[in-house]
Amino acid sequence: MPAQLVKNKLHSLKDPELAHIVQLRDQFGTSMEMTARRLVELSEYACAVVFSKDNTIRYAVKSEYFVERLAVRKGDRLPTKSPSRQSATDPDEWFEIDSHWWLTESSSSNQPESVYEQTLVQENGHKLTLVTYDPE
């Protein structure tokens, strides 16, 4: 997935969405996981992807514009109030939830009040959750 080619695609797609990951995966013939990592790596938006299995975090990656600290780490359960815990989701649907479910509380007055998420439920308990917020 050549960086400049992907950046050009992302620029035309605008805000990151799971549908864009699927589109890029199909175009480049790559895995969902690799494609999601590449999208986050090259995105100019505050976004992160959380990879989980059986509702337990495997790992997460963040774009350089996602300056807040994630409140979840490897081995943690997906946040209790997060729609990502559902056994089936519509990957095109966005959910807005209080940021404290995904972000570590900070003393910064710029911390967003809410975050937005989309989740793709995959086979064998695997999930890919895209988390974004609007930086102040």
- The CA-atom distances, in angstroms, between 48 and each of 39, 81, 124 are 9, 18, 22
Token duo for residue 46: 């505050």
Count up the domains in the chain and report the number.
Answer: 1
CB count in 10 Å sphere of residue 99: 20
Question: 109-115: long-range contacts at Cβ-Cβ below 8 A with a sequence spacing of 24 or more?
Answer: 110/135, 110/136, 111/68, 112/68, 112/136
User: Which residue range(s) make up the domain with 105?
Assistant: 3-132
Tens of pLDDT, residue by residue, the chain (136 residues): 777 777 777 777 778 899 989 988 999 899 999 999 999 998 889 999 999 999 999 999 999 999 999 999 999 999 999 999 998 888 889 999 999 999 998 766 678 899 999 999 999 999 999 999 987 6
The DSSP H or E segment spanning 21 is helix 18-28
